[in-house]
Structure 1
Amino acid sequence: MTKHDEAATVRPLTRAWVSGHLEAGERITRVEALRGGITAETRRLTVGRRAGSARSLVLRSFVSPYAVERADDWLGREAGALTQLAGTGVAAPDLVAVDPTAAHCEYPSLLMTHLAGRTVLADEGVETRVRLLARQLVAIHAVRPAERPPAYGTLTTADSVVVPRGADPAAWAAAIDVIRRPPPPYEGCFLHRDFQPGNVLFDMSPARPAAARITGVVDWAAASWGPADLDVAHCSTNLALLHGPAWGTRFAEAYEEAGGMLAADAGERLYWRVRDGLAVSEEVRQVTQPWWEAGRTDLTPRVVEERLADYVAAVMAGPG
């Protein structure tokens, strides 16, 4: 069996579990591996009906030891977020079923509806997409869930930061000193916690980039309660690495233009922006892999390291 065949196969126990959540007369007729994720195997399942019509579902399974160990938390967060988002106006998949401890499947898995659209990572049309991303994030932060998700978490410390080659040593030393401080106080809101272009689906025509619209937001496995600044900082960092450092600053501006509220104090805004940028320093290759697979072969780890170095230096040099 080739790797392609393996990727497009649903394991027997998982297939039986999925089939148990289909409607009467439905069966899986096609399996397609979806690219772009770091932590999970993701497949699109075409489900055929007796009348000849079909619909699509998405199956996410955590298979690496690292992900399996955390699947109960991650899939619990995702299932909870999808349930809370139903009927809010935020375009997210509908939850079909979840098996966070692999009680029925070979690996922890989640089954959800499939959303139309595709991720767009090209430089062309980025100005339009930045405005759409900002409006979408404002809508996410406006959600008032009946039950709050768990509080946000961060792992990066001053000692775990990896300073890129060629980075401005003074700027990076100052940035590392910023995250030695305790987190500033904040008014919490509903966070996606991995909101960035790779997790947003667009409907757009290459001939009419200005007519683009967002069709959905996916990968809610890190949904949290915390400061809006943290989601904004994360998307800012990703945009800076994808399209150049200036786009990180532009996204924060677009978020406020769309009605979003960031910390009033410049030092507090600086803390969250720096913390997210430094966090990426530890996992540059992981971050760039799905971008490379999606066709952005210009974004080598070295190019991304250079952009990250410049972005953090720019954040430290400019207003928070």
Structure 2
Amino acid sequence: MTVRLTVRPLTLAWVKQHLHTGEQIVGVEELQGGITAEIRKLTIVTRDGDTRELVLRSFVEPAHRERAEDSLTREAGALTQLAGTGVTAPGLVAVDPTAAHCEYPSLLMTCLPGRTVLTDGGVETRVPLLARQLVSIHALRPAVRPPGYVTLTTADSVVVPTNADLAAWAAAVDMIRRPAPPYQGRFLHRDFQPGNVLFGVLPSSPADTHITGVVDWAATSWGPADLDVAHCCTNLALLHGPAWGRRFAEAYEEAGGVLAADASERSYWMVRDPLAFSEEVAVIARAWRESGRPELTTRAVEERLDAYIKMLLS
């Protein structure tokens, strides 16, 4: 087989340095769904004629390269610490966070089985599985804590959608003008949502749906569990309807997770995350359309975001 030239020459040479003796790259496939990085699945033939797969993540776009070193260093650290825990994540093969060897900052890792599932069908089965998985992540106590969480959204950077409920959005923005509430730190994925969770789904037996792994640990942080929960809530609300955002928070507590006890503190975290989405609705909607949800136009996602903000404030 001929390798399609979708991996740049320097990066390809770097990858080959980390293969086992006698292995060859025989296929390269672009993986959809990535927003900040270019992702490739590499098919490798071993010396014995078997095949295995690796995943290559490269930060190509100038807008994202400035944070590439931090992101790849975080991800490499997280993958190393997750090895041997009950949380299934890719195995780290190699990392070049400053592009010392590759054209762009890159990370090479093992490929997990399973696939992302963003369809409405079966969401009632997947939500409890997602909740239990996140509780397991938050229960980890790493020997070395990752850096503290960062929230890039401010009250002044929120983008109010066209035809949104202005009063509701003004009230939501006022909420995040307050200082962040105190919290008990937890190990956070920081981008835990259906697009970063792989499922094994048997068509003949939907009840046997199970999680096969969690990917994209580039934003791993230390902070409040509420942040991770709120982020997944927002994704579910925009993918499947606002009620699924509220349902995930309930499922997380049913699975043993602990959120802020004070209602105003919980509301602070729950509102902050959807406000952050307001700044990149078009990018997120495009990624979802490319992943098989053509009906999720920018306008459709904005309408769900507005409805979710109003629901949270009701």
Report TM bin, short chain.
over 0.9
> What is the match of residue 289 of structure 2?
292
> What is the match of residue 181 of structure 2?
184
> Letter of the aligned partner of 2:120 in structure 1?
D
Matches within 5 A, 1:170-319: 170-317=167-314
Matched, 1:33 2:45: no
> What is the match of residue 156 of structure 2?
159
Deviations 1:192-213 (A, max 9, x none): 0000000000000234322100
> What is the match of residue 13 of structure 1?
10
> What is the match of residue 85 of structure 2?
88
> Letter of the aligned partner of 1:173 in structure 2?
A
Query: Aligned equivalents of 1:178 and 1:247: distance in 2?
Result: 22
> Letter of the aligned partner of 2:177 in structure 1?
R
Matched, 1:112 2:109: yes
Query: Aligned equivalents of 1:132 and 1:118: distance in 2?
Result: 15
8 Å CA contact 1:8–1:33 kept in 2: the answer is no
> Letter of the aligned partner of 2:36 in structure 1?
T
8 Å CA contact 2:116–2:197 kept in 1: the answer is yes
In structure 2, the residue corresponding to 1:59 is in which secondary structure? Answer: strand
Query: Aligned equivalents of 2:153 and 2:13: distance in 1?
Result: 40
> Letter of the aligned partner of 1:305 in structure 2?
E
Which blocks of at least 5 consecutive residues in structure 1 are unaligned? none
Deviations 1:155-187 (A, max 9, x none): 111111111222222211111100000000000
Query: Aligned equivalents of 2:46 and 2:7: distance in 1?
Result: 19
Query: Aligned equivalents of 2:111 and 2:140: distance in 1?
Result: 22
In structure 2, the residue corresponding to 1:210 is in which secondary structure? Answer: helix
Q: How big is the shift at 1:239?
A: 0.1
> What is the match of residue 44 of structure 2?
47
Which blocks of at least 5 consecutive residues in structure 2 are unaligned? none
> Letter of the aligned partner of 1:181 in structure 2?
R
8 Å CA contact 2:3–2:26 kept in 1: the answer is no
> Letter of the aligned partner of 1:110 in structure 2?
L
Normalized against structure 2, the TM-score is what?
Answer: 0.97
Q: How big is the shift at 1:89?
A: 1.1
In structure 1, the residue corresponding to 2:208 is in which secondary structure? Answer: strand
In structure 1, the residue corresponding to 2:26 is in which secondary structure? Answer: strand
Deviations 1:210-232 (A, max 9, x none): 21000011011100000000000
Instruction: From the superposition, tell whether residues 158 and 234 of structure 1 become closer, same or farther in structure 2 (CA, over 3 Å).
Output: same
Matched, 1:75 2:111: no
In structure 2, the residue corresponding to 1:205 is in which secondary structure? Answer: coil
Deviations 1:34-92 (A, max 9, x none): 11100111111111112111111000001011221111100001001101101111010
Normalized against structure 1, the TM-score is what?
Answer: 0.96
Identity of aligned residues (%): 72
Q: How big is the shift at 1:8?
A: 5.6
Structure 1 stretch displaced more, 89-98 or 26-35:
26-35
> Letter of the aligned partner of 2:282 in structure 1?
R
Query: Aligned equivalents of 1:55 and 1:189: distance in 2?
Result: 34
